[in-house]
């Protein structure tokens, strides 16, 4: 049987002192936590399987390195991101830090929704990638590249005859038809206004691949250029070939790919990274898109600071932290086959274990932003009209030339007021 001991007065006082000290320390910690600037950072990537959690962990490293600031990640899906963020910004609020697509970046700069960074960053202090030039508008910098991702053909060799990718468009159509059946589809892309932004990206792959551009070198609209018409006609051929899961959204058909129910898709390097991380047993490969030219769209997202932020200094501290070489390397690794703001060489081990990385890297010289050059800020309005006309081709049977002639006329009248 244990006897109860009575503590001495000195021991009680010593214990009380420890308790008081602990309480003071806890109170100090609470006070320090309350003193922290709490920022929000909105990005589509936070909502993605695999990459989202890794990106949150990366942001967590910034939080651990700071005593005066803490960033809370906000996940917003791709389909509603621009509308959500721009609505908040227009109301004088919104996330302190925003990762936005290039198409939204130009609109945000024009509407003065993001802060200029010229006083914060000197180009000579960083080894920026070539794509950084798109961050400079009117001679000023309003953001830094967050992720640069190119488009190539991803394919499952087990679902293609001979295990080889198609060399041209005719071979591509034949391969897609041969792979389709028994719950497997040969190809997938987006073709609904519900996924308008992704529909535009996929359409750019075809139009650019067939040599078309939405405008010429002088920024004049070329929506009905013969090469643009060829690209839309090819989009229609695929639509009518019975090889795509019509109506499936990107999340659905990308899941089908890693479930071995989809043979091919043209997608960006971020998606390849998701496949690699979420389905490590899936044996997939990459090749240049099977079009007449190597030109393809390029996803370029920017890291920006909301002009409404109440924590400008802390937001600037995050931007500078993100550009540090070690943090850039970690960011590139977690993003998959994408590149980041500064040049980061891939390791020989990564290139050996993930051969598709080399295919994406070699696509870099052929990447073209998915905006209307010279009319960047007008791109959302032009995109809406073009997609509506392309839907008439896909679903209504309108001839591609007629649809794009109408698109050219409508954009000139409604958007450019000519």
Question: Cβ(132)–Cβ(145) under 8 Å?
Answer: yes
β-bridge partners, 73: 41
d(Cα 176, Cα 188) in Å, to the nearest integer? Answer: 10
Would you list the DSSP string of 123-154?
A: GGGS-B-GGGGGGEETTEE--EEEEEEEEEEE
For the segment 232-242, what is each residue's pLDDT rounded down to a tens digit? Answer: 999 999 999 99
For the segment 291-347, what is each residue's pLDDT rounded down to a tens digit? Answer: 999 999 999 999 999 999 999 999 999 999 999 999 999 999 999 899 999 999 999
Name which residue leads in pLDDT, 317 or 34. 317
Q: Specify the CATH number of the domain 37-147+299-367.
A: 3.40.190.10
β-bridge partners, 302: 100, 145
Mean pLDDT across the stretch 191-199?
A: 94
Percent of the chain with pLDDT over 70: 92
DSSP SS3 for 215: strand
At residue 34 the predicted structure's pLDDT band, cuts being 50, 70 and 90, is low
The separation between the first and the last C-alpha atoms of the chain, rounded to the nearest angstrom, is 99
At residue 211 the predicted structure's pLDDT band, cuts being 50, 70 and 90, is very high
Sequence spans of domains, the chain: 37-147+299-367, 151-211+227-298+369-374
Mean pLDDT across the stretch 277-284?
A: 90
d(Cα 113, Cα 104) in Å, to the nearest integer? Answer: 11
Mean pLDDT across the stretch 36-42?
A: 95
Q: What number of other Cβ atoms are within 10 A of residue 298's Cβ?
A: 25
The answer, yes or no, to whether residue 254 has pLDDT greater than 50, is: yes
Question: Cβ(85)–Cβ(369) under 8 Å?
Answer: no
| Rama region for 242: left / alpha / beta (φ>0; ψ in -120 to 50; rest) | left
Would you list the DSSP string of 295-352?
A: -EEEEEEEEEEBTT-S-HHHHHHHHHHHTSHHHHHHHHHHHSS-B-SB--PPPHHHHH
At residue 32 the predicted structure's pLDDT band, cuts being 50, 70 and 90, is low
pLDDT of residue 15: 46
Same fold, 37-147+299-367 and 151-211+227-298+369-374: yes
Percent of the chain with pLDDT over 90: 86
DSSP SS3 for 84: helix
Q: Does domain 151-211+227-298+369-374 have CATH number 3.40.190.10?
A: yes
d(Cα 245, Cα 239) in Å, to the nearest integer? Answer: 9
d(Cα 32, Cα 161) in Å, to the nearest integer? Answer: 63
The answer, yes or no, to whether residue 384 has pLDDT greater than 70, is: yes
Phi/psi at 9 (5° precision): -60, -40
d(Cα 301, Cα 8) in Å, to the nearest integer? Answer: 67
Residue identified by tokens 């920017």 is 302
Question: Cβ(251)–Cβ(231) under 8 Å?
Answer: no
Residue identified by tokens 């990106």 is 55
């Amino acid at each position: 049987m244990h006897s109860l001991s009575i503590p001495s007065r000195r021991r009680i006082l010593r214990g009380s002192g420890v308790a008081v000290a602990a309480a003071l320390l806890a109170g100090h910690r609470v006070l320090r936590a309350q003193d922290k600037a709490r920022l929000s950072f909105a990005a589509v990537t936070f909502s993605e399987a695999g990459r989202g959690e890794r990106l949150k962990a990366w942001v967590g490293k910034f939080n651990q390195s700071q005593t005066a600031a803490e960033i809370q990640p906000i996940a917003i899906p791709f389909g509603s991101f621009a509308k959500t963020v721009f609505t908040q910004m227009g109301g004088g609020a919104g996330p302190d830090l925003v990762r936005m697509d290039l198409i939204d970046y130009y609109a945000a700069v024009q509407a003065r929704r993001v802060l200029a960074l010229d006083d914060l960053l000197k180009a000579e202090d960083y080894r920026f990638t070539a794509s950084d030039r798109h961050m400079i508008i009117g001679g000023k910098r309003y953001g830094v590249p967050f992720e640069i991702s190119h488009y190539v053909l991803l394919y499952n060799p087990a679902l293609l005859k001979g295990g080889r990718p198609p060399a041209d468009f005719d071979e591509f159509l034949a391969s897609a038809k041969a792979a389709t059946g028994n719950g497997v589809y040969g190809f997938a892309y987006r073709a609904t206004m519900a996924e308008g932004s992704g529909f535009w990206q996929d359409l750019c792959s075809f139009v650019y691949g067939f040599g078309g551009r939405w405008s010429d070198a002088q920024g004049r609209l070329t929506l009905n250029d013969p090469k643009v018409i060829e690209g839309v006609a090819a989009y229609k051929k695929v639509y009518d070939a019975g090889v795509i899961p019509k109506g499936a959204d990107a999340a659905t058909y990308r899941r089908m790919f890693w479930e071995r129910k989809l043979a091919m898709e043209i997608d960006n390097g971020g998606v390849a990274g998701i496949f690699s991380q979420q389905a490590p047993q899936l044996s997939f490969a990459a090749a240049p898109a099977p079009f007449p030219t190597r030109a393809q769209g390029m996803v370029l997202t920017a890291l920006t600071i909301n002009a409404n932020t109440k924590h400008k200094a802390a937001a600037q501290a995050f931007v500078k932290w993100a550009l540090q070489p070690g943090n850039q390397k970690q960011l590139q690794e977690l993003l998959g086959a994408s590149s980041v703001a500064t040049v980061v060489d891939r390791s020989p081990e990564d290139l050996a274990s993930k051969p598709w990385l080399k295919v994406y890297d070699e696509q870099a010289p052929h990447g073209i932003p998915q905006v209307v050059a010279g009319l960047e800020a007008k791109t959302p309005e032009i995109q809406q009209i073009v997609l509506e006309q392309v839907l008439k081709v896909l679903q209504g049977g309108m001839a591609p030339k007629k649809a794009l002639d109408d698109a050219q006329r409508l954009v000139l009248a409604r958007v450019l007021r000519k």
